[in-house]
Structure formats: structure tokens, C-alpha cells
């Protein structure tokens, strides 16, 4: 499985231009597997393939459009002690990491501009397009807050690490048999280093959890939130959050069998009319040197996110009718509460000897502090899982998002965040699409800031979605009422569409090519050596966090990739 033409000839065919200047050859990388994307899904593919004893010489090339912002590949930025001491400061890190997907042009007419300043011409039917804005986006159909993170490690550099197991109703369309799924889920937990006991000694965690266990019906199944995190053995006051590096494993042990290209755009896959079911190579763009690069492999994995993956496929001329469709995104209701005096009193008067020891140490150091809670007491991490009667996922915690910092309004030790995530009905007309013909190249025109086809959303929630969202909001208010009073400015509210950052369905897996993009092994229908990965592969509408499920699906796909690599190479 190799590129049949010379690299220069392939490049010339793709671009109708001269390769990187007259007389300069196009650089060529030759690996067994090329993976687009360095998030936890791409890293799950890479590690599983590199550690497979049946293919001990397998070599993996990983391509990432963003830069490597840490000395450790894809490390979670919240592992910094600074952010563990001040979680609200991490909000700014998240904001800086996120780039909006589709922004309609705004009103750029400035009526107060005087003098000799340029202004758009009047009534000429044009719009002033800022770089990255999308003139095709209909405001009412947009996922306004949907964003991506372009960096080595992707969203895993700042995610919450929440890894709940989906309810059976959240995985009913998944074609992988249940017994196999259960095994794959366990492997996914191990890769992500998931625990649900790392906050059990926290005063705040225990108090919030016990309060909800006492006040909510037993059927709500209040429990500790499973997290990809582990408390540090050298200093239990701090934790190590799992990032893409956790999933990737010991890079040094892979030697020259693994290579990461950062700040490199995965532009398109190379097709060949003589072998339409076989990807022959990949066209990359070295952004730093502003030159094109070619890569060839036996297998190709596109794992650049629920928007980025269909974007690459569309740009490659691989655009089945199912691509980008069946898009589901979670609704998100949010509020913050200040805990009740009774909850604080229960900490002060607790008979827990360890608590009293820690309170005494805190009081000795801070005798004027009116709160009994030590400054290093871990935050609560509590979950009320999805059930048939309450079909939404609830998190009661104190964590950093791109919103919801406490600031000077209250002591953060008594503030609890409530985030409730609601499902969306599956509808094939809900989609993300790209300006595209069905030939090899996309129609020139509107692009994102990286020169790829601009993603445009067409998403609407149904009447049933609205009804369930309102029920979810009432439940959020009821749960909040058990915990305290609303923090001014953080009253119960629905957040902008897309803010959950949990899009599913855009490259969904399934056995039927008319309703899915890839098979149960994540192999794109109609291709032998092309695989996809990420939340877009999930064929269900979910309310719980999707990362664990996406890793599970990727582990299933790795079996098919390994099988492909074990086959002898053909000329």
C-alpha cells in the first residue's frame, strides 16, 4: 500500500502547482499508521498500536495542527500547583485555549466614524468578513458557543476529566455488543486512569454528597463523580489530572517508532481512481515553514474532533450524505450556590477525628477565619447520574470552565457549581456541513483561519427537547435548594448552545452505510484503510460526558487497524 506516483507528481496533481518552489522535492514521511489529532482518542490509537506485541515494529506518525505548549506531550495544564490553589485562575487558560467554530459576521457599520477612516460601502449587498467569520452561518441555527482547542493534547489539556459510564439508554444505538463494550470500557478506564475515590476524604465533597443522599430519593443514586485523576503520593493535597500524555504512555519507550509533527495541518487524504477503496497518502502542511509535506502509511486515522474529522474527510472529497449529520449536542443548565449554614455547622461539629485534626491545624494558623474548612480541602466532585425518570446528567462540584468563576463575590470554599447536561433528539437534519462539491477538491471560498473549509452548523432542538430541558431546569432548582442560596450573578440559567463541547454523531459508527459514516470498527464505509475516532463516532445522543465512550470505541477500532498491519504489504 504505497503512493503509486512520485511525491512531486502527487503534489502537482493535487495543487496544479510546482512542489514547494522550482526544483524542490516534497518531503515524504513513510510510516505504518498516520494519525491526525493528538487528543486522547488519537493517543489511544497510537499507544494501543505501538504496544501491540503482534506488530512489534509498527511505526506511528501523529499530526497536530496546534503547538506543543508543554514539555510533556499533551499534559493537562491544571496539574500546575498554581491552578490547584486557585481554580478560578484556570478559567482564563480555558478561554485562551478555545477557538469558536462558526461566528456569523457582526454589524460592522460604525455611524460615529468621522474623518478619513475607511468604512464599508453603503447598500452594496456585501458583508465585512473578519478572518474566521462565517457569512453562511444562520444565527438561529448556530451552536454559538461551540469551540475547538488546537494544541498538542487537544481538549485534554483543560478538560474536567469526568468519565461516567453511560446509561443503557445513552448507548442503545452502539453496534458493539454489550459484553465486548463492557471489556472495552474497563480498558478505557485504565488508559485514562479513572478513579471515583480520590475526593472521599474532602470535607466539602463528603458534606455535599451526604446532604444530597439524605435529601434526594434513593433512586437518584447520588455518588462520587468518576474522574481521570489520581492524588499525588508525595503530597496528597494535590492531584495529577489525566491528559493525552496519560493515554499515550511512555513515549521514550517507543523510540523512533513514534513521531509527532506539531503545527502541521492535515490537509487532505490522497485518493486514487484505480483503487477507490484505498487511501494512498496524505497531504500535510508544515505551518511553520509554510510548505506542503506528504505522508504515506498502511492505515490512516482521522481523530481531529467532532467538527475537525468531518472537515478533513470533506476536504478530501469523501463526503457521504451521512457525514456531519445526526449531530447532537447537550443542553447545559448552570447555577452556583452558597452552601447552607447547617452544612458548614456539620463540618464544625463533625465527629470525624481526622476532620477535627485538620480543622484545629487550620484554626491555629488562621485564628480569625470564620470558616472551619482548610484552604487546601479538595473541592466536591459529586454526580447524580442519568436515569429513565430523570434523563439528564448532573454534576455538583467546583471546577473551572470558560464561565462560572467566583471571583471576589464569595469565599470559594462555600460555593458549589451545579451543571446539568440534557440530551438532544437524534435528527439527521441537524448537521455541520462544509462548502463542498463531490469531486476531489472543495469549492474555493470561505475557510477557517487555518485555510480549511469553514464549518457551518444547522442545528435545532425539537419540541420534546425543549420540554425535557425545562424539566431538567426544574430539577436543577430543586437540587440547588437543598444545598443553599444562589450566588448573585449565577442564578439558574441555560448556557449558549454548544458550550457543553460534547458534540456527537457527525462521523457516527453503525452497520448500515445509509445511516452511518463508519462501521463498528470505526472504518469508514467503502474504504479498507481509513478509520475515524472521537466523540463524532458516538451514534447516540448522550447527556453524560462522552470521552470514556469515545476511547472505548477507539480501542475496538485498534483491533481492526492491527489486523490490517499484520497483513503483508503489497506493491
Which triple of cell numbers denotes residue 510? 453503525
Give Cα separations from 93 to 78, 136, 240, 402, 411 (angstroms): 9, 30, 17, 8, 21
| Neighbour tally for 474: CB within 10 Å | 12
- Give the number of residues written for the chain: 571
Write 509-516 long-range contacts (CB < 8 A, 24+): 509/174, 509/175, 509/537, 509/538, 509/539, 509/553, 510/173, 510/175, 510/539, 511/175, 513/320, 513/322, 514/322, 515/322, 515/326, 515/428, 516/322
Q: 41 with 550: CB under 8 angstroms?
A: yes
Q: How far apart are CA 338 and CA 416, in angstroms?
A: 6
Render 79-123 in DSSP notation, one character per residue: GSHHHHH-GGGHHHHHHHHEEES-B-------TT--TT---PPTT
CA distance 68 to 251: 15
Place of cell 477507539: 554
Q: Any catalytic annotation for residue 124? A: no
User: Residue 95 has which C-alpha cell?
Assistant: 478561554
What sign does the CA torsion over 308, 314, 317, 321 have? positive
The three grid cell numbers given for residue 505, joined into one nine-digit string: 454523531
β-strand 381-384 against 223-224: which pairing, if any? Answer: antiparallel
Let me know: does 34 contact 297? Beta carbons within 8 Å.
Answer: yes
End-to-end Cα spacing for the chain: 6
Identify any residues that bridge with 293 across adjacent strands, giving them in sequence order: 284
Task: Determine whether 76 is an active site residue.
Answer: no
Say how far apart CA 408 and CA 122 lie, in whole Å. 46
Give the sign of the dihedral formed by CA 210, CA 213, CA 215, CA 220: positive
CA 338 to chain centre: 30
Instruction: Give the bridge partners for 447, in sequence order.
Output: 453
Can you point out the beta strands (E) in 438-508?
456-458, 484-486, 493-494
Distance CA 45, CA 304 (A): 13
Catalytic pick among 76, 77, 393, 502: 502
Cα–Cα distance, 524 to 501 (Å, whole number):
24
In this structure, which long-range contacts are made by residues 181-185, counting pairs with CB atoms below 8 Å and at least 24 apart in sequence? 181/552, 184/552, 184/553, 184/555, 184/556, 185/548, 185/552
* Alpha helix ranges (H) inside 18-80: 40-50
What are the cell numbers at 485?
442560596
Non-local CB neighbours of 61 within 8 Å, separated by 6+ positions? 29, 31, 33, 34, 35, 259, 261, 295, 297
How far apart are the C-alpha atoms of 311 and 289, rounded to whole Å? 23
**Catalytic center residues:** 502, 545
Amino acid at each position: 500500500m504505497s503512493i503509486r506516483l512520485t511525491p512531486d507528481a502527487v503534489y502537482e496533481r493535487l495543487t496544479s502547482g510546482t512542489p514547494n518552489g522550482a526544483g524542490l522535492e516534497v518531503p515524504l514521511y513513510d510510516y505504518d499508521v498516520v494519525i491526525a489529532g493528538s487528543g486522547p482518542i488519537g493517543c489511544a490509537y497510537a499507544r494501543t498500536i505501538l504496544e501491540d506485541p503482534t506488530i512489534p515494529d509498527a511505526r506511528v506518525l501523529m499530526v497536530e495542527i496546534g503547538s506543543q505548549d508543554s514539555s510533556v506531550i499533551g499534559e493537562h495544564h491544571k496539574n500546575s500547583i498554581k491552578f490547584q490553589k486557585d481554580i478560578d485562575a484556570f478559567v482564563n487558560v480555558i478561554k485562551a485555549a478555545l477557538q469558536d467554530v462558526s461566528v456569523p459576521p457582526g454589524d460592522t457599520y460604525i455611524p460615529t466614524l468621522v474623518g478619513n477612516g475607511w468604512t464599508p460601502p453603503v447598500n452594496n449587498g456585501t458583508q465585512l468578513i473578519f478572518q474566521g467569520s462565517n457569512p453562511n452561518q444562520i444565527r438561529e441555527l448556530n451552536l454559538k458557543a461551540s469551540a475547538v482547542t488546537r494544541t498538542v493534547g487537544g481538549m485534554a489539556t483543560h478538560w474536567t476529566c469526568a468519565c461516567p459510564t453511560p446509561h443503557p439508554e445513552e448507548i442503545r444505538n452502539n453496534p458493539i455488543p454489550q459484553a465486548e463494550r463492557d471489556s472495552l470500557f474497563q480498558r478505557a478506564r485504565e488508559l485514562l486512569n479513572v478513579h471515583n475515590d480520590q475526593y472521599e476524604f474532602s470535607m466539602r465533597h463528603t458534606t455535599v454528597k451526604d446532604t444530597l443522599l439524605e435529601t434526594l430519593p434513593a433512586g437518584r443514586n447520588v455518588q462520587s463523580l468518576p474522574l481521570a485523576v489520581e492524588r499525588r503520593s508525595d503530597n496528597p493535597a494535590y492531584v495529577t489530572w489525566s491528559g493525552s500524555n496519560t493515554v499515550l504512555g511512555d513515549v521514550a519507550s517507543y523510540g523512533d517508532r513514534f513521531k509527532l509533527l506539531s503545527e502541521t495541518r492535515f490537509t487532505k487524504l490522497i485518493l486514487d481512481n484505480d483503487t477507490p477503496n484505498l487511501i494512498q497518502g496524505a497531504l500535510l502542511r508544515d505551518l511553520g515553514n509554510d510548505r506542503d509535506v506528504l505522508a504515506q502509511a498502511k492505515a490512516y486515522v482521522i481523530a481531529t474532533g467532532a467538527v475537525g474529522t468531518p472537515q478533513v474527510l470533506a476536504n478530501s472529497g469523501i463526503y457521504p450524505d451521512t457525514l456531519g449529520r445526526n449531530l447532537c449536542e447537550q443542553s447545559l443548565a448552570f447555577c452556583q450556590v452558597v452552601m447552607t449554614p447547617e452544612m458548614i455547622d456539620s463540618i464544625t461539629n463533625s465527629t470525624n477525628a481526622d476532620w477535627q485534626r485538620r480543622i484545629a491545624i487550620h484554626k491555629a494558623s488562621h485564628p480569625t477565619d470564620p470558616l472551619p474548612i482548610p484552604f487546601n480541602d479538595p473541592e466536591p466532585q459529586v454526580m447524580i447520574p442519568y436515569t429513565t425518570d430523570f434523563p439528564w446528567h448532573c454534576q455538583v462540584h467546583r471546577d473551572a470552565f470558560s464561565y462560572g468563576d467566583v471571583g471576589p463575590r464569595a469565599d470559594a470554599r462555600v460555593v458549589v457549581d451545579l451543571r446539568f447536561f440534557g440530551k438532544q433528539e437524534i435528527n439527521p437534519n441537524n448537521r455541520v456541513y462544509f462548502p463542498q462539491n463531490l469531486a476531489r477538491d472543495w469549492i474555493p471560498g470561505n475557510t477557517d483561519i487555518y485555510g480549511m473549509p469553514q464549518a457551518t452548523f444547522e442545528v435545532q432542538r425539537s419540541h420534546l427537547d425543549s420540554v425535557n430541558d425545562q424539566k431538567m431546569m426544574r430539577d436543577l432548582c430543586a437540587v440547588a435548594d437543598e444545598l443553599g442560596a444562589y450566588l448573585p450573578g449565577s442564578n439558574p440559567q441555560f448556557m449558549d448552545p454548544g458550550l457543553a463541547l460534547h458534540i456527537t454523531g457527525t462521523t457516527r459508527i453503525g452497520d448500515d452505510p445509509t445511516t452511518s459514516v463508519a462501521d463498528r470498527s470505526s472504518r469508514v464505509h467503502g474504504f479498507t484503510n481509513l478509520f475515524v475516532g472521537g466523540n463524532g463516532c458516538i451514534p447516540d445522543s448522550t447527556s453524560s460526558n462522552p470521552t470514556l465512550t469515545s476511547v472505548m470505541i477507539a480501542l475496538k477500532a485498534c483491533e481492526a487497524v492491527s489486523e490490517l498491519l499484520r497483513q503483508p504489504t503489497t506493491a
